[in-house]
């Protein structure tokens, strides 16, 4: 029983990372109808940047996290302006493929900076644990959950209470109507990319906490794809919920591999994808996503 609870706690830690990356996907999808495959690139770029920034003595881990997140957000904004903006009006498939190209380019440069020796983000937690009642929880997982909760609360408040958030919701609802009401669609696109980049960077740093980062680290970001399929491509709440669900399921598969021995060793690698396929068979538009309406 305690083992089970510990597995769930571990899963919530992983899941909050997936939720943050998934939120980035959903924000871009809601604004422009595109799935940005560049999220893994922004994530690894954020991790590498922070791993260098923590070496600046007066910055510390939290300073490096904030500076790195802001810089990656600005970088994503620039990428949107330079590469994605000229493509407005072209099929979403074309833009999605461009983001694959972006991902390859960004990731390669980030990996080149990573070098041959693994790097660390020098987080204050490492692999230390604390006791929560009878359950032993890793500090880095608790930190990830708390940070994700704060980020999600701020984000939802931003969408709900600010003028820019209102503009973003309006653009997601109907681009032309929003434009006619004076919302700047271009600014919304740029901001959505900046937010997605920043979220990916934060998520990456917490995923990297306590670990060595090398060039096999980036596929973690791909688990956000099952998350957004499970949650629905256009549902922010869905992304958060599904992120936690996928994280917990994956952690359970990692902790109880015998139950899934027919999937071979390390079933936790493919469990999220199998969940995704199952969801798509049952509900092709995700659990919380809006059903697409066909008009001729």
Partner 1 sequence: MLTRNPVASRPLLHTSYRSDMALFNTRAKLVAVLVILLAGVALPLLPPSMLPDAVLTELTRGSVYAIGAIGLMLLTGFAGQVSLGHAFFAAVGFYTAAVIAGDPDGRTLGFGITELVVWLPAAGLAAAVVGVVVAPLATRLRGLYLAIVTLGLVVVGEHLFEQWQSVTGGPSNGRRPPPVTVLGYRLDVDGPFFNRQQQLYWLMLALLVVFALAARNLARSDVGRAFTAVRDRDIAAGVIGVNLARQKTVAFAISSFYAGCFGALFYTTFLNVRPDQFNLFLSVLFIVMVLIGGVGTISGAIAGAFLIALLPRLARWLAELLPLVSTRPTDIPNDSHLQQVLYGLLIIGFLIFEPRGLFGIWHRIRSWWKTYPFSY
- ∠ Cα 54 25 178 (to 5°): 120
Minimal distance, residue 191 CB to partner 1, in Å: 22
Window 12-41: residues binding partner 1 (CB under 8 A): 34-35
Is 81 a binder of partner 1 (CB under 8 A)? no
Distance in angstroms (rounded) separating the CA atoms of residues 60 and 64: 6
Q: Which tokens sit at 252? A: 């359970």
Is 269 a binder of partner 1 (CB under 8 A)? yes
Given a contact cutoff of 8 angstroms between Cβ atoms, the answer to whether 197 and 47 are in contact is no
Q: Count CB-CB contacts under 10 A for residue 225.
A: 21
Is 106 a binder of partner 1 (CB under 8 A)? yes
Distance in angstroms (rounded) separating the CA atoms of residues 233 and 97: 17
Is 264 a binder of partner 1 (CB under 8 A)? yes
- Torsion-angle region of residue 126: left (phi > 0), alpha (psi -120 to 50) or beta? left
Is 98 a binder of partner 1 (CB under 8 A)? yes
Is 66 a binder of partner 1 (CB under 8 A)? no
Is 290 a binder of partner 1 (CB under 8 A)? no
Please select the residue that binds partner 1; options are 104, 135, 179, 211, rule is CB under 8 A: 104
Is 94 a binder of partner 1 (CB under 8 A)? yes
Is 124 a binder of partner 1 (CB under 8 A)? no
- 219 burial class (0-12, 13-18, 19+ CB within 10 angstroms)? exposed
Only one of the segments 56-64, 100-108, 139-147, 244-252 lies at the binding site for partner 1 (rule: CB under 8 A); that segment is 100-108
- 10 burial class (0-12, 13-18, 19+ CB within 10 angstroms)? buried
Q: Count CB-CB contacts under 10 A for residue 117.
A: 7
Please select the residue that binds partner 1; options are 1, 180, 281, 293, rule is CB under 8 A: 281
Residues near partner 1, by CB under 8 A? 34-35, 83, 86-87, 90, 92-94, 96-98, 100-106, 108-109, 111-112, 115-116, 219, 222, 225-226, 229, 263-266, 269-270, 273-274, 276-277, 280-281, 284, 292, 294, 296
């Amino acid at each position: 029983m305690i083992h089970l609870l510990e597995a769930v706690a571990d899963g919530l830690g992983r899941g909050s990372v997936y939720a943050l990356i998934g939120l980035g996907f959903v924000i871009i999808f809601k604004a422009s109808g595109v799935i940005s495959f560049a999220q893994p690139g922004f994530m690894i770029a954020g991790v590498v940047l922070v791993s260098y920034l923590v070496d600046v003595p007066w910055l510390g881990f939290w300073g490096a996290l904030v500076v790195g997140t802001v810089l990656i957000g600005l970088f994503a904004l620039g990428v949107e302006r330079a590469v994605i903006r000229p493509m407005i009006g072209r099929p979403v498939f074309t833009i999605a493929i461009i983001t694959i190209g972006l991902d390859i380019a960004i990731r390669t440069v980030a990996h080149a900076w990573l070098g041959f020796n693994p790097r660390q983000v020098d987080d204050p937690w490492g692999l230390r644990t604390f006791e929560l009642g009878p359950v032993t929880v890793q500090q880095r997982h608790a930190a990830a959950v708390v940070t994700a909760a704060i980020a999600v609360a701020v984000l939802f408040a931003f969408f709900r209470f600010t003028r820019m958030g209102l503009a973003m919701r309006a653009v997601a609802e109907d681009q032309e109507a929003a434009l006619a009401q004076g919302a700047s669609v271009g600014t919304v696109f740029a901001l959505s990319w900046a937010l997605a980049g920043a979220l990916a960077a934060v998520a990456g740093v917490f995923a990297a906490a306590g670990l060595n980062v090398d060039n096999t680290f980036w596929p973690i970001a791909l688990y956000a794809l099952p998350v957004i399929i499970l949650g629905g491509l256009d549902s922010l709440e869905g992304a958060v919920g599904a992120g936690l669900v996928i994280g917990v399921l994956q952690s359970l598969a990692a902790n109880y591999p015998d139950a899934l021995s027919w999937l071979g060793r390390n079933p936790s690698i493919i469990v999220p994808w199998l969940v995704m396929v199952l969801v798509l068979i049952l509900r092709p538009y995700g659990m919380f996503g809006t059903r697409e309406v066909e008009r001729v």
